[in-house]
Amino acid sequence: MEKATLTGLAEQRMGSMSDKERRRHKGGAASPNDPERRRAAESMAHDELSLVPASLEPMSIDATRAMLHELHVHQIELEMQNDELRRTHMELEIERTRYFDLYDQAPVGYVTLSSEGLILQANLTAAALLAVPRTELLKQRISRFIHVEDQDAYYLMRQRLLHFEEPQSCELRMLRSDGALAWMQLAATLTRAEGSAPTLRVTLGDVTERRQDQEDLRIAATAFEAQEGILVTDANNVILRVNRAFTKATGYSAHEVVGKTPAMLKSARHDKGFYAGMWKSLKSTGSWQGDLWNRRKSGEEFPEHLSITVVKDERGRVTHYVGYLVDATNSLLQEQQRLLNEAAHRDMLVREVHHRIKNNLQGILGILRKFANKHPETAEPMHHAISQVQTISVIHGLQGRRVASPVLLCELVRAIAREIEGLWQTPITLDMPAQWQAHVISEDESVPIALVLNELVLNAVKHGGQSHGGVGITIQAGQAPGGVQVRMVNQGQFAHDGNASALNRSGLHLISALMPSRGAHILREQRGRDVVTVLELEAPVISQNL
């Protein structure tokens, strides 16, 4: 009875406590030396004692023990309650820390906007993305940070979100406080709390790098389909990809070359050493470029300019080879046409020069003939000079006939013989095999050889030919392979004490001076009444006209 009365009084007292007192009573996490708590406890104890009836009979020992037990149990319950409150407080702190990690330290920015676009809340990531302190973001319009050209995209997203109340997203450029632009992906949802205006929850993700990568890929894709052919191989030189310009140049479609090696394009124009040099350059410098011939699918060989670049990973290992080829067929044709045009222009100028020289020489010849006719006592030296000038005129006439005209030995001998025959009124016969292989006189030696021939024929005419009925000239094969002999025969006598003295006695000093150092020599001999003079010519003075 007494125990129940005391317990009831305690419960009555707890029930009559105000909320403030109850919270204070349950605040077991506070310090045991808290003065406020002590005063509250003393006040509660005094109030409880005042509720005890004055007529309460003294309690027995058992009743006292029971009451003390009850109080002890109640005390333990309070302590357990305090422990539970402390655990709840700790869990709340843990959750608060976790919220901080999940919200403020999130990899994306979080902002809460009013329906008008004012920033109500923002996490630290959003502040870092915009390079603005978080406190300065609040109450700012988010449109302030959006690039002027992307404002319409933002307003459209917001209007669609408010109208359809479905998640919306867009990508736009935002301005950082340092003036830099960054591409952001905005993803927004709408929330409506009862009795309050709707709010927009928006995430911000920096996609600048991804957008740049996409731009680079677009540029690379455009460049890949450029005018020049491109092929990409792996480290084993197996073709992985080609572009349209490659298929156009080679005639092979992509599926016909992928999985194969570029060796399928090889022509027979380059030996192993050429390709060995190519690979040596690739390994030592990481690139190679040059001109080569490849083979189309049709079997046609074509010239191309090829550049190869080695692609390596971060460890320096070769991962790919990229080849850039340009079909040089048109360039080659254009170059050939340019060379032909240049040659034609040069030949036209050369012919014009030879023609003018010949005309001038003919004018000189006319002057010399008039002088010889006017002064008969000078006829012989004048005719000699006329013959030499005429020979040079013949050379220019032969060289100026047509494009790239070589001076043929047989034609030169024939022209000189005809000029001397007409000038000295002495018959000259020319004998040459019907199936004769024409020979070309070296351009550098054409004038000297022409003058040598002129002097030899003229000497044959002057020293017996004119007085004994003429001179015979025969062109025949020489003793050396590819050599030619010009044999001249006339009646007469010459000294027998060696070629040098014979030449000097015959007045042929000019021949000695004009003879090439190699590829030409003269033999003279007396055969009965005839003097035989042989001019032996061989390379490099002459060559066969192929």
| pLDDT tens by residue, 7-20 | 444 445 444 444 44
Domain boundary among 183, 213, 243: 213
Strand 428-431 and strand 471-477: the pairing is: parallel
Q: 320: domain range?
A: 225-327
Sheet with 301-312: strands ordered across? 239-242, 229-234, 318-327, 301-312, 287-295
What per-residue confidence (pLDDT) applies to 39?
Answer: 76
Taking residues 256-284, what's their average pLDDT?
94
Do 165 and 273 lie in one domain? The reply is: no
Do 167 and 97 lie in one domain? The reply is: no
pLDDT in tens, 388-400: 776 776 666 665 5
pLDDT-based confidence at 73, cuts 50/70/90? Answer: confident
State the CB neighbour count (10 A cutoff) for residue 498: 10
524 SS3 class: strand
pLDDT-based confidence at 255, cuts 50/70/90? Answer: very high
85: tokens are 């409150």
Do 78 and 121 lie in one domain? The reply is: no
User: Is residue 410 in a domain?
Assistant: no
Q: Of 114-118, 204-208, 452-456, 511-515, which range is least confident?
A: 511-515
User: Residue 241: phi, psi to the nearest 5?
Assistant: -160, 145
What per-residue confidence (pLDDT) applies to 489?
Answer: 94
What per-residue confidence (pLDDT) applies to 499?
Answer: 46
Domain boundary among 405, 429, 446: 405
Domain boundary among 379, 405, 431: 405
User: Is residue 26 in a domain?
Assistant: yes
Q: Of 136-145, 214-223, 252-261, 352-361, which range is least confident?
A: 352-361
Q: Which of 406, 424, 439, 444 shows the shortest CA–CA distance to 535?
A: 439
What per-residue confidence (pLDDT) applies to 51?
Answer: 62
Q: Is residue 113's pLDDT more than 90?
A: yes
Do 80 and 180 lie in one domain? The reply is: no
Taking residues 210-233, what's their average pLDDT?
83
Do 77 and 141 lie in one domain? The reply is: no
Query: CA distances (Å), 389 to each of 361, 385, 412, 540, in order?
Result: 7, 6, 14, 25
User: Is residue 37 in a domain?
Assistant: yes
User: Residue 483: phi, psi to the nearest 5?
Assistant: -85, 165
User: Is residue 415 in a domain?
Assistant: no
pLDDT-based confidence at 217, cuts 50/70/90? Answer: confident
User: Is residue 97 in a domain?
Assistant: yes
What per-residue confidence (pLDDT) applies to 71?
Answer: 83
Give residue 406's region: left, alpha or beta (phi > 0; psi -120 to 50).
beta
Do 384 and 437 lie in one domain? The reply is: no
Do 261 and 186 lie in one domain? The reply is: no
Taking residues 512-533, what's their average pLDDT?
89
State the CB neighbour count (10 A cutoff) for residue 187: 15
Taking residues 291-315, what's their average pLDDT?
93
Do 482 and 546 lie in one domain? The reply is: yes
Helix (H) or strand (E) holding 24: helix 19-26
pLDDT-based confidence at 349, cuts 50/70/90? Answer: low
User: Is residue 360 in a domain?
Assistant: yes
User: Is residue 347 in a domain?
Assistant: yes
76 SS3 class: helix
Do 369 and 430 lie in one domain? The reply is: no
What per-residue confidence (pLDDT) applies to 497?
Answer: 47
User: Is residue 219 in a domain?
Assistant: no
Do 464 and 526 lie in one domain? The reply is: yes
Q: Of 417-421, 442-446, 494-498, which range is least confident?
A: 494-498
| Whether 156 contacts 144, CB under 8 Å | no
Between helix 409-424 and helix 379-399 the angle, nearest 10°, is 150
What per-residue confidence (pLDDT) applies to 450?
Answer: 83
Q: Which residue has the higher pLDDT, 55 or 374?
A: 374
Do 180 and 152 lie in one domain? The reply is: yes
| Whether 474 contacts 487, CB under 8 Å | yes
What per-residue confidence (pLDDT) applies to 5?
Answer: 46
As for how many domains the chain has, the answer is 5
pLDDT-based confidence at 29, cuts 50/70/90? Answer: very low
What per-residue confidence (pLDDT) applies to 24?
Answer: 47
Do 74 and 140 lie in one domain? The reply is: no
- Which CATH number goes with the domain that contains 124? 3.30.450.20
Rounded to whole angstroms, the Cα distance separating 182 from 204 reads 11
Q: Is residue 197's pLDDT more than 90?
A: no
What per-residue confidence (pLDDT) applies to 265?
Answer: 95
pTM of the model: 0.41
pLDDT in tens, 133-170: 999 999 999 999 999 999 999 999 999 999 999 999 99
Which range of 102-111, 175-184, 412-421, 453-462 scores highest in mean pLDDT? It is: 175-184
